[in-house]
């Protein structure tokens, strides 16, 4: 078939189909756990939960399919060299995925958090710069394998870039300048390990609360100056339960510590509004500030397109329908400003950067990952949170109901980490930092550049008489 012939775009074996299949494999492997969340905790029949999850996976898979289709289109009109534009196109479609779905989970660049020298690039270009680099190396390998002339030049250049990045990153981590700046603070993290099935059972409420009090006293005994409880950790609404609130106030007054904890909040009115919030109690027992979660979890805290997806109503009946907060509220701790990302808010680089721009000197994140069960999701969540510490040049401390809780330094090194589904108390040192990274000061430049390059290549293609140029046609799926 000639290039650009009608019907080529969606044929079996076409770039769109192959990209779509790759997306199905990737997102099924990373998001399989959503079925369990909706079935076990959302009150949906398993078959319906699986169907909804499959719909989400199919939707997300469209973006890798578009990436493959755009790359193939550019190759057909610009020649095999166009494959080297793949990193720009990948980042553009990955950005579109996060923007259009509101769910930028498992961005490709997060895969590099365990390669700390390479991960340091995020302090300059954010996580999407790592997506760009990862795709660029792959594109260089493909180019070398399929083009006959100057095939190894891009691969050699990509290799040199990676070596240079790794060398710079290694020196940055080894120097560890940020670990000597700022004021130190002893942070205590309480991991209650409360089963979601009994979390809101009134018969278990007092035992859950007293266990948190006991673990908090342990953290204070070990020197904690700031204690952090997980998301929705109080088995009551703090502002609606004067007895429980009084116990918390007494606790912090006696120990002279600050306490950050998650608790739902009601705003009176018609209709009443519900917020997933984080409260700060000062050492004198007063409320120092309240942060209301801005990014809500679709199908967890609200059902998008609820009228259309009426059959998913049991989800909101189980978890309620929350209202998003509006302000990146800072919580004052001993003269410093601290931010809180609640649950999956921490996967949004732009939101965490917004916290740092507002003056956050310490990143905290509180979550309840009990929903995920014994799956890969808690580890995915923790690693994505760790990437924010590299991007912003901040210590990150994380309290999770069932784990993983831990402390991460500004270079992405995990200083302490708990196992999942075990009660735990972690006390460790963090630092209040004001120095900012290039990324924190200037924001994400990789994604707008990638979008501009992608659009420019599509709008102003340079047509060729042939695209062979020594390329093996069969590698690109062409037929004569």
**What pLDDT is recorded for position 201?**
82
343 is catalytic: yes
* Ranges assigned E (strand) in 362-409: 362-367, 396-400, 406-408
Asked if the model's pLDDT at residue 373 lies above 60, the reply is yes
Residue 326 is among the residues annotated as catalytic for this protein:
no
| pLDDT score recorded for residue 301 | 62
Q: Do 385 and 344 meet the contact criterion of CB atoms below 8 Å apart?
A: no
Catalytic entry in 215, 343, 383, 392: 343
Strands 258-267 and 273-281: antiparallel
- How high is the pLDDT of residue 282? 97
> Residue 101 — very low, low, confident or very high, per pLDDT cuts 50/70/90?
confident
Q: Starting at the edge strand that comes first in sequence, how are the strands of the sheet with 362-367 ordered?
A: 331-333, 336-342, 362-367, 396-400, 406-408, 414-417
pLDDT value at residue 306: 56
Q: What is the mean pLDDT of the chain?
A: 89
Kindly name the residue from 231, 301, 361, 383 that is annotated as catalytic.
Answer: 231
Q: Is the pLDDT of residue 152 over 70?
A: yes
Per domain, the residue ranges of the chain are 15-175+445-476, 178-440
pTM passes above 0.75: yes
Which residue shows structure tokens 């079996």? 12
pLDDT value of position 315: 54
Predicted pLDDT at 308: 55
pLDDT at 281 over 50: yes
Rounded to an integer, the average pLDDT of 269-287 is 92
Of 293, 301, 329, 391, the active-site residue reads 293
Q: What is the pLDDT of residue 303?
A: 61
Which comes out higher in pLDDT, residue 472 or 377?
377
Is 231 among the residues known to form the active site?
yes
What superfamily would CATH give domain 178-440? Carbon-nitrogen hydrolase (3.60.110.10)
Question: Rg of the Cα trace of the chain?
Answer: 25
Question: What mean pLDDT is predicted for residues 206-224?
Answer: 96
Stretch 142-155: mean pLDDT, rounded? 85
């Amino acid at each position: 078939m000639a290039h650009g012939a009608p019907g080529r775009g969606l044929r079996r074996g076409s770039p769109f189909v192959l990209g779509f299949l790759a997306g199905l494999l990737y997102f099924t492997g990373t998001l399989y756990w959503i079925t369990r969340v909706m079935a076990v905790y959302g009150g949906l029949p398993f078959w319906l939960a699986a169907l909804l999850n499959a719909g989400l996976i199919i939707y997300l898979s469209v973006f890798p399919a578009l990436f493959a289709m755009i790359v193939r289109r550019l190759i057909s009109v610009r020649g095999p060299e166009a494959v080297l534009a793949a990193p720009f196109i990948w980042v553009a479609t990955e950005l579109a995925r996060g923007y259009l779905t509101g769910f930028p989970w498992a961005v490709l660049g997060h895969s590099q958090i365990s390669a700390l020298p390479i991960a340091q690039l995020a302090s300059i270009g954010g996580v999407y710069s790592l997506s760009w680099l990862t795709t660029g190396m792959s594109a260089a390998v493909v180019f070398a394998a399929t083009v006959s002339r100057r095939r190894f030049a891009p691969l050699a250049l990509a290799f040199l870039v990676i070596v240079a990045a790794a060398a710079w990153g290694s020196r940055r981590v080894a120097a560890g300048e940020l670990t000597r700046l700022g004021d130190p603070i002893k942070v205590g993290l309480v991991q209650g390990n409360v089963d979601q099935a009994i979390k809101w059972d009134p018969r278990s409420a007092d035992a859950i609360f007293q266990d948190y009090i006991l673990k908090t006293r342990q953290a204070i005994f070990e020197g904690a100056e700031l204690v952090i409880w997980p998301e929705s950790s109080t088995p009551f609404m703090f502002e609606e339960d004067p007895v429980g609130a009084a116990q918390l106030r007494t606790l912090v007054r006696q120990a002279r510590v600050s306490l950050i904890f998650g608790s739902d909040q009601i705003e009176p009115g018609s209709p009443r509004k519900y917020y997933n919030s984080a409260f700060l109690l000062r050492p004198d027992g007063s409320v120092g500030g309240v942060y209301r979660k801005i990014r809500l979890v679709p199908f967890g805290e609200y059902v998008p397109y609820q009228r259309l997806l009426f059959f998913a109503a049991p989800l909101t009946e189980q978890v309620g329908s929350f209202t998003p907060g509006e302000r990146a509220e800072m919580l004052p701790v001993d003269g410093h400003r601290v931010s809180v990302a609640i649950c999956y808010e921490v996967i949004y680089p732009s939101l965490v950067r917004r916290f740092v721009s507002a003056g956050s000197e310490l990143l905290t994140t509180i979550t309840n990952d009990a929903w995920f069960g014994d799956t890969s999701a808690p580890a995915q969540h923790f690693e994505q949170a760790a990437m924010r510490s590299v991007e912003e040049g901040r210590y990150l401390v994380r309290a999770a109901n069932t784990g993983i809780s831990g402390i991460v330094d500004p270079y992405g090194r995990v200083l302490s980490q708990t196992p999942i589904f075990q009660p735990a108390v972690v006390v460790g040192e963090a630092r209040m930092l004001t120095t900012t990274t290039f990324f924190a000061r200037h924001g994400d430049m990789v994604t707008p550049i990638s979008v501009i390059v992608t659009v420019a290549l599509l709008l102003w293609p340079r047509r060729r008489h042939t695209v062979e140029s020594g390329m093996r046609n069969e590698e690109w799926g062409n037929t004569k």
